[in-house]
Structure 1
């Protein structure tokens, strides 16, 4: 029995994939991020009292943690577009880093102040707005990484989508730090978690359908 017709039929639906160049893909994402943060400051979206905010420990906790997460998740995300790379181990390390960053926030005052104090600190009205802004700021890098994923050939689309979502969410939250007027660690953990979680879930739900494999 000849399998040539079946092989020809399967091969006929395949499209050529260009060899991945990590430096080129990383440069594209870097340009997107630089352009976004440049536009962000050009539009005057940053807080006017930024020098005062920079004296707050939670400001640097957010900036360093989110910047670190964005970088260490973006690198394996781009690498995962190559079919020879498996993002499984990288994703585990990123989860560990996220956990460490959250635990670092325990050094700040996120204790229990009673129900009334807790509701006041969470401040859900401003929190929802902050989460939405973080979500919006995450869209450009997520679209950029999604298009690179489309051009690549990831063998584990789900994990690539997780990595893209984490990287984009962390970057969006990183940019938003410069506009966030809140310094309460409890507020930050909750609403930054909501905003970043929404972006990551959206990436996981949509981006696997962009892959050609």
Structure 2
């Protein structure tokens, strides 16, 4: 046995077996966590009281459908980025472009009564800030789970993976929040949901790559 072989054996002797990565298991964990948050909101009576009346409206179809699409795409990009050599800039650019398209689509479901109101009334800053904070709070457990999955995997570009992780967690958190958000104005949703999502994505981009420094 050569000295190199002996060195390799010595370094690997105490290594514990690594569980093989399963994307299905990771997706399942995300769904369970998001469903758990939703269940807690429903048990606490946090669902908007008129949900039964508005659930089939064009506005709610845009709100829930658009966020569901963004959450699905963002989660797929994030999980894909954990395995080399993924985490391409094109995928992240596509996610951001899709977010812009979803927000622009809100113009279609804006009624004349809403569009005629003063801008400050439509934005309702005090309530909007609370909505953004709620999205951040709901996103944190999801971001923590994705951070663990990211740590267990082998991302080649941790900064891009971290950004994708933040975007995925934030869009999932925003989707869960739709069940209790009373706002009906697409401009309000586009602005304050974007604020909450951007805050989570920025925090993930800044915090998560630090754990990958040697």
Which bracket does the TM-score occupy, shorter chain normalised?
0.7 to 0.9
Matched, 1:171 2:155: no
Task: Give TM-score, length-normalised by structure 1.
Answer: 0.85
Partner SS for 1:155? coil
Measured in 1, the distance between the counterparts of 2:43 and 2:115 equals 39
Measured in 2, the distance between the counterparts of 1:147 and 1:132 equals 23
Please say if residues 153 and 211 of structure 1, whose CA atoms lie closer than 8 Å, have aligned partners that are also in contact: no
Please say if residues 79 and 85 of structure 1, whose CA atoms lie closer than 8 Å, have aligned partners that are also in contact: yes
**2:105 alignment partner in structure 1:** 104
Please say if residues 34 and 173 of structure 2, whose CA atoms lie closer than 8 Å, have aligned partners that are also in contact: no
Please say if residues 153 and 212 of structure 1, whose CA atoms lie closer than 8 Å, have aligned partners that are also in contact: no
**2:119 alignment partner in structure 1:** 118
CA offset at residue 78 of structure 1? 1.2
**1:26 alignment partner in structure 2:** 27
CA offset at residue 135 of structure 1? 0.9
Unaligned runs of 5+ in 2: none
Unaligned runs of 5+ in 1: none
Cα deviation 1:7-32 (Å, max 9, x = unaligned): 99xx89x9986542212222221221
Cα deviation 1:135-159 (Å, max 9, x = unaligned): 1111111111011111111011111
Taking only aligned residues, the RMSD between alpha carbons, in angstroms, comes to: 2.8
CA offset at residue 72 of structure 1? 0.9
Task: Give TM-score, length-normalised by structure 2.
Answer: 0.84
Measured in 2, the distance between the counterparts of 1:212 and 1:144 equals 20
Measured in 1, the distance between the counterparts of 2:77 and 2:202 equals 18
Decide which moves more: 150-159 or 102-111: 102-111
Aligned residues between the structures: 204
**1:135 alignment partner in structure 2:** 136
Please say if residues 67 and 175 of structure 2, whose CA atoms lie closer than 8 Å, have aligned partners that are also in contact: yes
